[in-house]
Amino acid sequence: MHRRELLKQIIGISGMTLTAPLAGACQSITQGFGDAKTQISFVKTNDREKGINQAIDLLKLPGFRKKDLFIKPNFNSAHETPGSTHNDTLKTLINKLRELDSGELTVGDRSGMGNTNDVFENKKMFAMAKDLKFRTVVFDDLKKEDWEHIKLGGSHWTQGFFIPKTVKNAGGIIQTCCLKTHRFGGHFTLSLKNSVGFAAKRVPGNDYNFMIELHRSEYQRTMIAEINAAYKPDLIVLDGIDAFTTGGPDTGKTVNSQVILAGTDRVAIDAVGVAILRHFGTTDEVSKGKIFDQEQIARAAGLNLGIKSPKQIEFVTNDSESFKYAKEIQAILNS
């Protein structure tokens, strides 16, 4: 069978038998009969370059037709991956986006643990930007007029929050996140939590500390989800080759989780990420209850930012090892 020919493998919700995968072919695993709403490509690998290229190819994206794209990494700190985005992940993603006919590329973030300029310098982002010809934006350096105030009805943010206009005005938004727990109240930090770096800590001319409000609130995980209502990603790549199963976001117990995920639905990406953390054994907070009852995921689903059930996820793989691994994660999603 040709590598690009799609072999559909259906797992029925009533327990239908799964046909054995064919080596080297694309396989997809769906949860039921016509329930699938989003695809998540699932690649078992320890090779970031190979895994990211395969994961994006499996989604069969139409390309970006010269769109100027904003790339949001996880640069909360400069700690070793999964404490921050691996430079090889970012480099591979940039090259792949150019292959998909992107326009100008911009990488930007706000670090929660330290000075963002220092983080970018320690991550060698300014040198990489010169070499690979992309722009960088340090949100700490933005002026008052560079921020857009977001007020959502029913939000738990007492004063709303601010998002950079350069993000809001981008032709498309690409997010790349890590796989890890979060010991400061987020419980886990995947694609939804990575969006906190879009939100201002302070805006020039306004002394209010929005991050103190977030981290002191009993609704912290709900507020994390609400930030995501301000934008919609065109692509999310989760680097889960290594993961923190406890601790995080900077350091923690590390496991070699050997996976790259890609998709366009933040709820689906995070639900699969939580299932992978549970697969390796994780914190009580991340382990308890149904995955879609986790506060970040439940609030995001309630805001219609993504799917509402694990039955709406279709895993797409291209080799038998990835297929087997995805089946194991699928069982945890359904439990």
Q: Check residue 12 and give its pLDDT.
A: 30
Give 239's strand partners: 178, 260
Instruction: Select from 260, 334, 329, 328 the least CA-distant residue to 292.
Output: 334
Q: Check residue 30 and give its pLDDT.
A: 63
| pTM of the full structure | 0.92
Distances (CA, A) of 23 to 27, 59, 111: 9, 19, 43
User: For each of the chain's 335 residues, which pLDDT tens digit applies?
Assistant: 443 343 333 333 222 223 334 445 677 776 544 566 999 999 999 999 999 999 999 999 999 999 999 999 999 999 999 999 999 999 999 999 999 999 999 999 999 998 999 999 999 999 999 999 999 999 999 999 999 999 999 999 999 999 999 999 999 999 999 999 999 999 999 999 999 999 999 999 999 999 999 999 999 999 999 999 999 999 999 999 999 999 999 999 999 999 999 999 999 999 999 999 999 999 999 999 999 999 999 999 999 999 999 999 999 999 999 999 999 999 999 99
Query: Residue 109: what residue type?
Result: D
Structure tokens at 303: 């805001």
Q: Check residue 66 and give its pLDDT.
A: 96
Give the separation between CA 26 and CA 3, rounded to whole angstroms.
6
Structure tokens at 147: 């921020």
Q: Check residue 28 and give its pLDDT.
A: 74
List of domains in the chain: 37-334 (3.40.50.11440)
